[in-house]
Structure 1
Amino acid sequence: MKTLSLSERHNYILETLRQQGSVSVVDLANQLKVSSVTIRKDLTLLEEKEMLYRTHGSAILINPYINDRHVNEKEKSYPEEKRLIGRYAASLITADDSILIASGTTMHALAREIVPQGHLTVIAAAINVTNILARNKNIDIIQLGGFVRNSSVSVVGNYAEKMLENFSCSKLFMGVDGIDLDYGLTTTNMMEANLNQVMIQAAQKVVVLADSSKFGRRGFGKICDLDAVDHIITDKYVPSKTLEGLRERGIEVTVAE
């Protein structure tokens, strides 16, 4: 590669990030034939312009740490992708199934797509999910009780966790705020993370519904490592490198289109 100008290097870095999701200082230095010091200065300049976020020895396109937002605000993000993810997830529900549905706007999309085969039993954390499913007479709903989070309109806490000790379901459908290949699954709320951990123990199979904005990000509360996940359903905008990394860990990955 020829020697690039400052602006050309910056364009190269940003384009690489758009394609891969993250890139290391060492790899950029090798690709651009410049020193690691030069790359670090480039990354600092781009971070000051809020065009990327620096991490240890690398960079990503967005700040990986997520703030808690109200469910109404989250509903406006990636609506079509969530609808497709929800539709595919609903197709995994079998006749006379018993399932767990956690909280999150992608869970709302799932609930809207559910057409039960025979009779369906659902244990729900989110009140909005219960409201959607309650319209169908072929669905029995067990609403978990406890402290209601204002931002997600879902329950958390000891009461909900205690209820789950009495149940075993075929599948848990779970939304998350962050998926990091090294750190695992996270959410912005510690109490929600704790409830999700108990839900995982109550299910035979863990299915994660996550649009592409959730990848490479971290919330405050860790839910689990990736090895606890059986299946991830996402959209077509997840970098192929990330999809490969998930599949190498033995996780079934579906891109809903």
Structure 2
Amino acid sequence: MDRHKSILEKINQEGQIKVQYICDKMDVSPVTARKDLKFLEEKGLLYRVHGGATLHNPYATDKHVSEKEKIHLDEKMSIGLAASKLITANDSILIGSGTTVLALAKKIEPKENLTVITSALNVALELNKHLEIEVIQLGGVLRKRSSSVTGLYAENNLADFSCSKFFLGVDGIDLDFGLTTANVMEAHLNRQMIHVSQKTIVLTDSTKFGKRGFGKICGFDHIDEIITDEGISDFTKNALEDYGIKVTIV
């Protein structure tokens, strides 16, 4: 069917498609548009999501940090390098958990004194190599899959701090649902980190766009900048910029 062909051409080009777009461009009802998407999903050609469909499986899996470290390593290191250039002399920053923010920790070259507060053990150990960096490790329940702490104790620690920047790693960025991670406790801690930071900068490789984790961190109104790789689609980049977010591509 020509309509199915047009839907697939659109979703292959932009990574996703909306029911409303199908209705407007192909002059069909929402019921017909959803039936088309259901038929194409059953053929294994797309995944239906709220309000439309996406090309890739939208649900993020909770992989162990040791497994994540090996995936898209070059992209993560480039993102980490770009993020490290945002750190200034005598800065006080927050770094969350995840392998992309770990890449940032590996790329930091301290400028005079730097204070870093982090929930991630691997980030703290990496930064502990530098005499010029004061590392404050949040306490709490250790989550082994991410090598980071969560829980009320970690959240209460944050009340004593005010930071210039929060570097946030995510498991998914969905234009309808917002930013997510695979663990709801980490999502809640990340929200508290956003609250005590003047600016929130998301570090993510482009495969995370169109994905959803179990725990929602926030909507786009809390994000100042996203640093990612050139795999991001023009559609997604433009949509994020419409929210007022600076998108930096490495």
TM-score normalised by the chain length of structure 1? 0.89
Look up the match of 1:74.
68
Among candidates 137, 145, 160, match of residue 139 of structure 2? 145
Deviates more, 1:18-27 or 1:107-116: 18-27
Look up the match of 1:53.
47
Distance between the aligned counterparts of 1:46 and 1:79, measured in 2? 33
Matched, 1:199 2:193: yes
Matched, 1:209 2:209: no
Look up the match of 1:174.
168
- Measured after TM superposition, the shift of residue 32 of structure 1 is 6.0
Specify the code of the residue in structure 1 equivalent to 2:186. Answer: E
Distance between the aligned counterparts of 1:196 and 1:56, measured in 2? 25
> Would the alpha carbon gap of residues 161 and 35 (structure 1) be closer, same or farther in structure 2, given more than 3 Å must change?
closer
Gaps of 5+ in 1: none
- Measured after TM superposition, the shift of residue 189 of structure 1 is 0.8
Gaps of 5+ in 2: none
CA-to-aligned-CA distance 1:33-79 (integer Å, 9 cap, x gap): 77877754553343234331012442101222222111122122221
Secondary structure in structure 1 of the residue aligned to 2:97: coil
Secondary structure in structure 1 of the residue aligned to 2:159: helix
Q: Contact 2:94 / 2:117 at 8 angstroms: preserved in 1?
A: yes
Among candidates 131, 134, 151, match of residue 128 of structure 2? 134
Secondary structure in structure 2 of the residue aligned to 1:166: coil
Specify the code of the residue in structure 1 equivalent to 2:170. Answer: V
Secondary structure in structure 1 of the residue aligned to 2:247: strand
Distance between the aligned counterparts of 1:26 and 1:201, measured in 2? 35
> Would the alpha carbon gap of residues 168 and 239 (structure 1) be closer, same or farther in structure 2, given more than 3 Å must change?
same
Q: Contact 2:69 / 2:99 at 8 angstroms: preserved in 1?
A: yes
Look up the match of 2:239.
245
CA-to-aligned-CA distance 1:1-55 (integer Å, 9 cap, x gap): xx74x9xx44x53342232121134534665677877754553343234331012
Matched, 1:155 2:141: no
Among candidates 228, 231, 236, match of residue 225 of structure 2? 231
Aligned residues: 250
TM-score normalised by the chain length of structure 2? 0.91
Look up the match of 2:110.
116
